A and B are shown apart, each in its own frame.
Chain A
Amino acid sequence: MAVAESRTTGSQNPADDEGTLSDALLRQLMAVGQVDVLVGLPTLNNAATVIDVVRAIHVCFTRDFPRLRTVLINADGGSTDGTPEIVRAASFTDAEVVQTSYSLRTLHRVVAPYHGMPGKHAALRTVFAAGELARASVIVVLDPAGPATTAQRVTELIEPIAQSSVEFLAPRYRRHPRDGVLITQLVRPLTRALYGVGLDEPLGAEFACSGRFASHCLEQAIWDREAARFAIDLWLRMEAVAEGFSIGQIWRPLTLTTGARTTVREAVHQVVVSAIESLRSHDVFWLRAGSVAELCCWGSDPVAIPEGPTWDYQALAQQARHDIVEIKELLGTVLEPELLARLLDANDGASPMPDDELWVQIVYAFAAATRQGRAGVDHLADMFTPAYMWRAAAFMSQTARESPAAVQARLNSLCETFERLKPELVAAWSAGE
């Protein structure tokens, strides 16, 4: 089994694999040769969980795809907890004992630390470039922190790409409808309305794609942009939609988010920057996109709805009230006076008043403001955060005693409002040219 360490170097040309990959990694990949399936594992201090994921990948390779040429690429972002060493030294003895079949080919494992701009995009670029060089027809990227990653789960990601015409497979989770407010109130309805695609989890960490899609992505100019640090997951999905690649979804077990060290302000900031980057990159597509198309879905629906989240939305409401008043003057540079007055009204009082139409108009006003250059993207994202906090608190307050079905109906209604008001954004965006 090939185990080596190498470094990636920065490249001005994203399409230039030999510039993206270090000499050592190139040598290892040349030793591996052409592969059918490449599994990428971007890691950063995942020593606690990575061993199980690596074993699951190994079992998947040996048990389910013994005739395919496979390789595991661990792109490490500079872990200080020994993650690369664990991957390199992982013993598969236990796993192999329980298997009845063995791979007919050599199993390859490459550990490739990257030292460019920190972030998942740099790891993905390494994985994609390696996939292009090894001519992989299937590329799978796994979440190293996923405690529920089993061999079966890895196989489920590989099979649709290998056996059907789908070229991008995004995860789909069975959530409580009150869970993931940033997804359900902003990212999902926005991408659904603008891109016309029924994608449940536009920010999911895991995915699978074809080698053709990976090569296409490498040719794009996203990789060297600062925004790519946060934007890459959303951008990949929207790029697949905008460029006409066949996309699908797959049920995955819902894992607890690994962003526990991230504050809600940082999360909103990153998501807004991602959304703006995607909107700018794909405006030719979404300005003309039509009605929403539902996607093919693989895997089995867990059906059972997990428990709803319990967090202090009243504290968030209080924070939103304070922050919106503080930056009222700034919000006035983005929102029309009437819209700002409605936001202040809705945000006034003990409990925030939910208003779907107002929320959608605010989101679209911010999107249009990026086009009109009313402020820098970072400032707009910061200005948007209190508005999101109002919306999240209002939604949680409104649905506190509602059944999951009733909450889901509200989410569907919000998606419809986003779709209904899309022409307003299209007009504002076009006027800002």
Chain B
Amino acid sequence: MIQDIGEALVQSWRNFASAFVLFVPRLVAATIILAGGFLIAAVARQAVRRVLAWAHFDRLSLRTGASEMLRVAELPTAEVLVAKIVFWIVWIGFIVSAVDTLQFTPFQGLVGEFYRFVPRFILALLVLALGFLVGNFLWRATLLASVNAGLPGARLLSGALRVLVIAIGAVMALEQLGLATGVALTAFAITFGALMLGLAIAFGLGGRDAAKQLIEQQMHANKQRNADAAPHL
């Protein structure tokens, strides 16, 4: 009996020792991957910042209104943000590789999943960024055009357009990521449809007189606006 217990303990110890001997090199390798990955990610972050600075990325973000939006959201500048995103993608890539090196059964295949996810993630970010850029450009153009045309509610109109375009961008980005695709699309379709229906009913039935008055005022204002430059030149 005591001999059996002793053998079991010895066998257990031998198993542990052999597993430990097998695990330590993997742990060391994972640690090296983590440390090296961190360094590479930091270098990549610096490189991206310098390339973006050289390419005057700040001007582009200023011009498109992205800088202003980031400032309002208390986020870092666009240059820093892009560099951070690159850092985390690279760094997470190395973390996943390190975990895979440890060969834990639950995490097996993680690297493959990650590398399949990264392109989709980058594409989603690009779609989102494009949504912001287009949304901001349209917001600015619509606001200025509406104010110049003397339309009432210029801010509301341009703001709504911006929200709509950014929302479309966000839904497209979520679709790229494959996250809650059905929910996002359905919610968007219901909201957009309800909004348009509401506007149509409000303007077509409830606001018929107001619309008529608005158009008449607009025509009158346009007449007044004509021929008013002479005293300025």
**A330 B143 Cβ-Cβ under 8 A:** yes
**A372 B62 Cβ-Cβ under 8 A:** yes
Q: Which residues of A (288-323) have their CB < 8 Å from a CB of B?
A: 309, 311, 319, 323
With beta carbons under 8 angstroms apart, the residue of A203, A263, A373, A385 that contacts B228 is A263
**B144 A262 Cβ-Cβ under 8 A:** no
With beta carbons under 8 angstroms apart, the residue of A180, A260, A319, A327 that contacts B143 is A327
Please, how many angstroms separate the alpha-carbon atoms of A276 and B140 in the complex? Answer: 20
Contacts of B227 on A, CB cut-off 8 Å? 260-263
A385-B148 CB under 8 A given contacts A181-B231, A263-B228, A330-B140: yes
**B228 A264 Cβ-Cβ under 8 A:** yes
Compute the total of residue contacts between A and B using a CB distance below 8 Å: 83
Q: Which B residues fall within an 8 A CB radius of A?
A: 56, 59-60, 62-63, 65, 68, 140-141, 143-145, 147-148, 150, 154-155, 225-233
Give the interface size bracket for A toward B: 35 or more
With beta carbons under 8 angstroms apart, the residue of A259, A376, A392 that contacts B63 is A376
**A264 B229 Cβ-Cβ under 8 A:** yes
Shortest distance between the CB of A253 and any CB in chain B (Å): 16
Q: Which A residues fall within an 8 A CB radius of B?
A: 179-183, 203, 256-257, 259-268, 309, 311, 319, 323, 326-327, 329-330, 332-333, 372-376, 379, 382-383, 385-386, 392
**A379 B140 Cβ-Cβ under 8 A:** yes
Contacts of A319 on B, CB cut-off 8 Å? 150
A332-B148 CB under 8 A given contacts A309-B231, A373-B63: no
Contacts of B148 on A, CB cut-off 8 Å? 265, 382, 385
Is the contact region of chain B dominated by helix, strand, or loop, or is it mixed? helix
Provide 13 A-B residue pairs closer than 8 Å at the C-beta atoms, listed in order of the A residue: A182-B233, A259-B229, A259-B233, A263-B225, A263-B227, A263-B229, A267-B233, A333-B62, A372-B59, A373-B63, A375-B63, A382-B144, A382-B147
Shortest distance between the CB of A282 and any CB in chain B (Å): 22
With beta carbons under 8 angstroms apart, the residue of A260, A333, A386 that contacts B147 is A386
A333-B65 CB under 8 A given contacts A179-B231, A326-B154: yes
Contacts of B59 on A, CB cut-off 8 Å? 372-373
A311-B231 CB under 8 A given contacts A373-B59, A374-B63: yes
Additional 8 contacts, C-beta under 8 A, given A264-B228, A383-B144 = A181-B232, A182-B232, A183-B233, A263-B227, A330-B144, A333-B68, A373-B56, A373-B59
Please, how many angstroms separate the alpha-carbon atoms of A181 and B147 in the complex? Answer: 22
Contacts of B232 on A, CB cut-off 8 Å? 180-182, 264, 267-268, 392
**A203 B233 Cβ-Cβ under 8 A:** yes
**A257 B140 Cβ-Cβ under 8 A:** no
Please, how many angstroms separate the alpha-carbon atoms of A158 and B233 in the complex? Answer: 25
CB-based nearest A residue for B62 = A374
Contacts of A383 on B, CB cut-off 8 Å? 144
Cβ-closest 9 pairs across A and B:
A267-B229, A182-B232, A373-B59, A262-B229, A382-B144, A309-B231, A311-B231, A260-B227, A263-B225
